[in-house]
Each structure stands twice: as C-alpha cells, then as structure tokens.
Chain A
Amino acid sequence: DAKTTQPNSMESNEEEPVHLPCNHSTISGTDYIHWYRQLPSQGPEYVIHGLTSNVNNRMASLAIAEDRKSSTLILHRATLRDAAVYYCIRRIGNQGGKLIFGQGTELSVKP
C-alpha cells in the first residue's frame, strides 16, 4: 500500500495559521484521507477526515484537491499545544478501515 508524502518538519509562530501539505497521488477512489496527530509518549489522536469535499471541525480544516492527489490540513491559529507530529493517512475504504501512515510532519510552534 502506497504511503502519503509529507515534509519532515515545519515551524510556525503562535497565533498564526499553519498549512500542512500532503501528497497522495496513488489514492484510490474509495480511500478516505485522515489526519491524526501524536504527542510524545501518547497514541495518535484523530484530527479530521474527508473524501472529496473540504471539511471543517472545531480542531482544523481539511482542503482536498479536486483530483484528490493532495490535501492540506489547516490549523487556523496555532497554539503551543498544537506542537506534535501530524500524520496524513490513507484509510483503505474497502478493507474495514486499515490506516496507512506516512512518516508525518513534526510541527513546532514558537511563542
């Protein structure tokens, strides 16, 4: 199963928006795009997911390209608590929800 591609690390200033990109050029039509984040010594935490349309929730927004080959996670106002590794994930639609993690982007937030 092909993995997603993300930058290894990104840096942001507190209170500013953050755009975390992800490439998933081999995604199939039934795969969902999920984002999770992981703090040190903790399990991954769900952030948001989508299939084709852009999605918003209380944590973030997800912008999905029209061809579905890429997506962007948007944190509208970064806080120090948002510092984590963010994973862009393919959820295999026809295999009961198997999650294919990539390497993730380590986000650091400066005060």
Chain B
Amino acid sequence: ETGVTQSPTHLIKTRGQQVTLRCSSQSGHNTVSWYQQALGQGPQFIFQYYREEENGRGNFPPRFSGLQFPNYSSELNVNALELDDSALYLCASSFRGPMNTEAFFGQGTRLTVV
C-alpha cells in the first residue's frame, strides 16, 4: 500500500471521446507524475506537476493535459481518444527536495478505447 490512489480502476471509452483520470498523492508529497504503460512495455513519462504547474513533459501530444490541485491531487485529461491510447495509466507521487527520493506509484487506471 503506497498511499497513492487512482480512480477509476478500469474504464472503457469510445474513440473520439474525452476522459479524466484522477490521482490522490501520498501525504507530504509535492510532485505528481503521470505515465502511460502499453501492454508488455515499460511505463512512458507523460508529464510532471510541481506546485500546480507542469514541470516537464514527455513525447505526448497536447490532447494529453493535466492539473495539480492545492492539496497535490492531480488529474490527467485526454481529449479525442484514439485506439492507441488504450493502456494502463500510472500516477506517481514524490517529494521534490534536495535529496533524491523514490516515487510511489498507484495501482493505475486501465483505459480501453473501442
């Protein structure tokens, strides 16, 4: 149990729709990152939020967007869903400070686009 919770756990959407995934960070953490994991692949970095601002982005199009709230929880929004967006979406929280610390991952949201 990492203290990072994601909702929903599973989701089925139709191509072209929009989806919002949610993440509650571990208490005391100020940074949240989102990753996409396709079947049989390692997670791919989407973006990171620190103090409610985007702080680094991977190779994902603008239809992937996010928010971080004052309580450090976060949302991942994906517009105009494509079949290739089907994947496990992982949220990771960490504390950004002078020490290099580990990230704590949630269980993920399994998104299926049909």
Residues of A that sit less than 8 Å from B by CB? 3, 32, 34, 36, 41-46, 49, 51, 87, 91, 93, 95-104
Q: How far is the CA of A95 from the CA of B100 in the complex (A)?
A: 12
- The answer to whether the Cβ of B13 comes within 8 Å of any Cβ in the partner chain is no
Check A96 against B50 for contact (C-beta < 8 Å).
Answer: yes
- The answer to whether the Cβ of B102 comes within 8 Å of any Cβ in the partner chain is yes
A42, closest chain B residue (CB): B107
CB of B63, distance to nearest CB on chain A (Å): 20
Q: Which of B88-114 contact A (CB under 8 A)?
A: 90, 92, 94, 96, 100, 102-108
CB of A51, distance to nearest CB on chain B (Å): 7
CB of B61, distance to nearest CB on chain A (Å): 18
Q: A43-B105, A95-B56, A99-B103 are in contact. Are A87 and B33 (CB under 8 A)?
A: no
- Count class of interface residues, chain B: 20 to 34
Chain A interface, >50% SS class: loop
Q: How far is the CA of A91 from the CA of B104 in the complex (A)?
A: 14
Q: How far is the CA of A102 from the CA of B44 in the complex (A)?
A: 9
Check A32 against B100 for contact (C-beta < 8 Å).
Answer: yes
B102, closest chain A residue (CB): A46
- The answer to whether the Cβ of B42 comes within 8 Å of any Cβ in the partner chain is yes
Q: How far is the CA of A104 from the CA of B50 in the complex (A)?
A: 27
Which residues of B are found within 8 Å of A91, using beta-carbon distances?
100
Q: Choose among A41, A43, A87, A100 the residue with the greatest number of B CB atoms under 10 Å from its CB.
A: A43
Q: How far is the CA of A43 from the CA of B100 in the complex (A)?
A: 20
Residue in B43, B103, B106, B107 whose CB lies within 8 Å of A97: B103
